[in-house]
Amino acid sequence: MTVNARNPLSTLKSHLAAACASAALLLAAGGAEAGDLNALIWCDHSDPALLQPFEEANNVKVNVKEFEGTGAGLAIVDQSQPGDWDVMVIDSIDVPRGVEKGLFEPLPEDKLPFADLFPEVKMDKSTVVDGKRYGITEKFGYNTIGYNKTKVDPADMQSLASLTGDKYKGKIAIYDYYLPVIGMAALAIGKKTAELTEADLPALKEELLKMKANAKLVGEVTASQTALATGEVDILVGGGEWVTAGLAKENPALDFSIPKEGAVLWSQSLAMFKDSKNKDMALKFIQYIMSPEGQARLATSACYWGMPANKTAALSDEQKKILRFDEQPGFLARAQAYPAPNADLDKKMQDMWTEMLQAQ
Amino acid sequence: MTFTGHNGRALPWALVTPALAWTLLFFVLPFIAMGLSSLTAHEGGGFTLANYSQLFTDPSYWRAMVNSLEVTAIVTVISILLAYPFAWVLAEMVPERWQRLALMLAVLPFWTSYVVRSYSWLLVLAQNGVINRTLTGIGLIAEPLQLANTRFATVTGFVHFFVMLLTLTIFANLKQLSPSYRKAAADLGAGPVRTFLHVVLPLTLPGIMVGAFLTFVLCIGDYITPQILDGNNELVMPQLVMMQIGRRGDFPLASALSIILMAVVTVAYLACARWLKIERA
């Protein structure tokens, strides 16, 4: 039973939530200063090697709060006061969700290096709403097949069918994030990731259960990376340069493929909050991240590597080789976007994912 | 200073006010907020019981509760079975001057980070870990066993921690036990086994139950150990709660699942309540 009208229960709940949030903010406010920049970020932005040059150049402290997943990020914003946050990292496909909530400020295109971005990752369909641009893609990569090339036949990694065959049973880990892996399951059964509907769920579930039956574990970033690096598994479903590139020096046997069925393109954007009290500094931060220097530092962040959206990123030749920079046009041509379900389908996909995790 | 009269009544209240305020601010208010949140629809707001019914109607959610109860029961029983003899040896067979050192060694696992300890177990149990290498090295097995990323790994990680906790509570109980009880039992003709079963064990039940209850509460609410050691091959309730928050920002459903978990802990408390008194009956 669901009643949508605002009722006394909701009012009381919101007051109590506000009281609790205020108490938490009071405790957390110790280190924050008026001139600080407050950023809701993914872990790659918390690398001091990325933030320090900006802080020193602008005499500003960047306070960061890490989150995983757009839902969690928007929940943090919901529980904050307007103006608490200045910038946010968000999945490019989810920029419209922030716009719908009235959170974001249009970005000045003339002050940002849009001409230097890889055209395929501008993601205008999601970063531009009603003719205004609310997000700029800063980093991208692929959820595809990560593997140890000394343990598996690289030729097998050119097809998603290898993930559900018997040859590598028990040698596979699955990255524990439902959207990209569901996207890979869609590619495996010949569906376009952008066109998934509720009617596709039974076939997707069947494919996911086949993958699970072959998998030794389903792990978040650290667990799946560790499993691949330590030899616990030889293949990571959903892996890509974001897993293998950062480990390239220690373990050059790790690599990734873009199979013939394609791969899922992940792309993260930066957005500025409409209620930011420090919009000039927020814009400077976005400009810094999008600059050749900022892009190189972000691409090789200690948390995870990924392709810089800006083609002019100041990467070394070795870094470019690890990221397979020169192969990007071919990769991008075969990549498909993250599935972008509406709220209802999203819940059903997550429930399907939970079922897959619980399957024995 | 006197504790009688008007001022005398005010002083105790003044002394407990900080603790009451702390409890109100950091337990009662958040708990009420969580309760109200659990009755609110994630999409669109408004009153709903759907967050509670999901646990009972969705088999994968119910499976998480069953997994939690199974893992917790297994961990609690194994921990008691290992901790009791260990505490007994410490209390009865180790000379008093060595007991402090032995206890310190027993609690060594508490000194390391919980996360580091869990990852260490992952490395020990891994395909290329110490156990598999040893077993394959001595020719006992041809292929490595899958020990990591299983329920076995989760139970092992938990037991390693909780055996120490239970050892402490049982050891304390054994040390409080007057030798007169055993002497009296012997005088009345009871042998060592009968004395243990009918005198020592019942008198140390409070220590066992306190440790078992703490084990139950900490184990059923733990997220880190199953997350690291189980490889997401089966979910327990805390993982399900975290999924709602981390993936969807669905605080209402997470709140409902948390309150159900608290209800389970409350039932466990009521079941153990008679043994959880500070003074022995």
Tell me the angle at which helices B151-176 and B114-125 cross, rounded to the nearest 10 degrees: 120
For chain B, the maximum distance between any two Cα atoms, rounded to a whole number of angstroms, is 81
pLDDT of B6 reads 58
Query: Which residues lie closer than 8 Å to B222 by C-beta, 6 or more apart?
Result: B158, B238
Q: How far apart are the first and last CA of chain B?
A: 35
Q: Label residue B152 by pLDDT band (50, 70, 90).
A: very high
CATH number of A141-265+337-358: 3.40.190.10
The answer to whether residues A260 and A155 touch, using CB atoms and an 8 Å cutoff, is no
Q: How far apart are the first and last CA of chain A?
A: 32
The answer to whether residues A216 and A227 touch, using CB atoms and an 8 Å cutoff, is yes
Class of domain A34-140+266-326: alpha beta
pLDDT of B275 reads 74
Between residues 164 and 193 of chain A, which touch chain B (CB distance below 8 Å)?
170, 173, 176, 178
pTM score of the predicted model: 0.80
- How far is Cα A28 from Cα A91, in angstroms, rounded to an integer? 27
The residue among B167, B134, B153, B2 whose CA lies nearest residue B71 is: B153
Is the per-residue pLDDT at B102 higher than 90? no
Residue A342's identity, in one-letter code, is: N
pLDDT of B281 reads 43
In tens, the pLDDT along B106-125 reads 788 778 888 899 989 988 99
Bridge pairing between strands A215-219 and A172-175: parallel
Positions of chain A with pLDDT under 70: 1-35
A contacts of B227 (beta carbons < 8 Å): 220, 223
Q: Label residue B273 by pLDDT band (50, 70, 90).
A: confident
Is the per-residue pLDDT at B183 higher than 70? yes
Domains belonging to chain B, first-starting first, are 60-275 (1.10.3720.10)
- How far is Cα B165 from Cα A124, in angstroms, rounded to an integer? 57
Q: How far is A213 from chain B (nearest CA, A)?
A: 10
CB-based burial label for A219 (10 Å; 0-12, 13-18, 19+)? buried
- How confident is the prediction for chain B on average, in pLDDT? 90
pLDDT of B279 reads 52
The residue among B94, B278, B76, B72 whose CA lies nearest residue B173 is: B278
What are phi and psi for residue A52, nearest 5 degrees? -55, -50
Provide CATH 3.40.190.10 ranges for chain A: 34-140+266-326, 141-265+337-358
Is the per-residue pLDDT at B1 higher than 60? no
pLDDT above 90: percentage of residues in chain A: 75
Structure tokens at A291: 């600059």
Query: Which residues lie closer than 8 Å to A67 by C-beta, 6 or more apart?
Result: A40, A41, A42, A73, A76
Between residues 82 and 101 of chain A, which touch chain B (CB distance below 8 Å)?
none
The region of weakest confidence among A77-86, B33-42, B107-116, B189-198 is B107-116
pLDDT of B198 reads 93
Q: How far is B145 from chain A (nearest CA, A)?
A: 11
The answer to whether A232 contacts B126, with C-beta atoms less than 8 Å apart, is yes
Between residues 211 and 270 of chain A, which touch chain B (CB distance below 8 Å)?
216-220, 223, 226-227, 230-232
